[in-house]
Amino acid sequence: MDEHEADGMKAREAHADALTILEKFDNGVALLHLNRPDALNALNPALRKELAEHFRVLAGDDSVRCVVLTGNEKAFAAGADIKAMADARPGELMRGGNERFWRPIQDFPKPLIAAVNGYALGGGCELAMHADIIIAGEGAQFGQPEIRVGIMPGAGGTQRLTRAVGKFKAMMMLLTAQPVAAGDAERMGLVSLVVADDKVVETAMEMAARIARMPPLAARKIKEAVLNGADLPLEQGMLIERQAFQLLFDTQDQKEGMQAFIEKRKPVFKGE
Ligand code: CAA
């Protein structure tokens, strides 16, 4: 919080729950911190619940146009909380329905940037892969080490990772449990950008501010088209894109964007 205040960005609102901290800024950016440092931000049920609730609320908050999700310098998140699930039984996991905590993040309609320092392992790597853009510090490590504790990824690690990096890199990570360094993750297509460790949140916040200045309905439709089209044959994906493209011509922001270009002035996008 202090860091951004020192940069001249003052949080308009800050909510510190036990396991997460949410800061909202006047420029339409929200910064959400995972805050369980003693356990390297391991995702226990209480943390997942808080996180899901934040995303549910942020989705409907018109003052927020882009969200940055981050951990601390040592860990983005070291995975699901192993201690909390060591004695779990299948029926309990089914009743617990973890997917309901992931759903609001998966369905989050606005651009989401993961700002990753340190460990992004297991559920932590899967959480980062829920984001639209991943900015990593040079010292970050990404891995799916679940096999080491006798299980496998349960929140998209076999699916999103394979789609991001292809079968052979994914299998290597999933079967050996060995993490990859940020630079390798970037080359594999798992990371958007690698920066110095102490510039991760700053870079993510700058990128988020830029995105927040864009027309939000166009951002939403781009996200929808990329995510929904990714699993479809090209023709169906193109149809989704075409319909979204045409629909944007019914927005005020399209009129404003094009008129501002013609009049050689800066556009003011209202999200209408
Ligand atoms: N669950 C619960 N606690 C965890 C944790 C996790 N995933 N990761 C770290 N912690 C805790 C440690 O138990 C330790 O707590 P105590 O001080 O009370 O002992 C504290 O965080 C600090 O961790 P370490 O002392 O281990 O720190 P380190 O720097 O020596 O090692 C590490 C760091 C290599 C990340 C190591 O902590 C580790 O291997 N963690 C587990 C990583 C993992 O296997 N993640 C996958 C979990 S399963 C999963 O995520 C399923 C899914 O797909 C949904």
- How many A from CA of 42 to the centre of ligand 1? 7
DSSP string, 39-101: GTT-B-HHHHHHHHHHHHHHHT-TT--EEEEE--SSEEE--B-HHHHTT--HHHHHHHTTHHH
CA 78, CA 179: separation in Å to the nearest integer?
Answer: 11
Question: What is the model's pLDDT at position 2?
Answer: 45
Question: What is the model's pLDDT at position 140?
Answer: 98
Check for a shared fold between 3-212 and 216-263: no
Nearest CA to ligand 1 atom 11: 39
Phi-psi region of 11 (alpha: psi -120 to 50; beta: other; left: phi over 0): beta
For residues 99-108, one letter each, b for 16 or more C-beta atoms within 10 angstroms of the residue's C-beta and e for the rest, the string is eebbebbeeb
Options 1.10.12, 1.20.120, 3.30.390, 3.90.660; CATH for 216-263 is 1.10.12
Atom of ligand 1 nearest to the CA of 83: 2
Question: What is the model's pLDDT at position 97?
Answer: 82
Number of residues written out for the chain = 272
Question: Which residue among 34, 48, 72, 82 has the greatest number of ligand 1 atoms within 8 angstroms of its CB, and so is best to mutate?
Answer: 82
Locate the domains of the chain by residue range.
Answer: 3-212, 216-263
- How many A from CA of 40 to the centre of ligand 1? 7
The answer to whether residues 84 and 44 touch, using CB atoms and an 8 Å cutoff, is yes
Half-sphere exposure of 161 (CA within 13 A, CB side): 32
Question: What is the model's pLDDT at position 20?
Answer: 97
Q: Which CATH architecture has domain 3-212?
A: Alpha-Beta Complex (3.90)
Question: What is the model's pLDDT at position 190?
Answer: 98
CA 254, CA 264: separation in Å to the nearest integer?
Answer: 15
Atom of ligand 1 nearest to the CA of 144: 46
DSSP secondary structure code for residue 248 in this structure: G
Question: What is the model's pLDDT at position 94?
Answer: 87
- How many A from CA of 149 to the centre of ligand 1? 11
The pLDDT profile of the chain, 272 residues, written as one tens digit per residue, is: 444 554 556 788 878 778 999 999 999 999 999 999 999 999 999 999 999 999 999 999 999 999 999 999 999 999 999 999 999 999 988 888 888 999 999 999 999 999 999 999 999 999 999 999 999 999 999 999 999 999 999 999 999 999 999 999 999 999 999 999 999 999 999 999 999 999 999 999 999 999 999 999 999 999 999 999 999 999 999 999 999 999 999 999 999 999 999 999 999 999 99
Question: What is the model's pLDDT at position 8?
Answer: 53
- To the query of whether residue 241 is one of the catalytic residues in this protein, the response is no
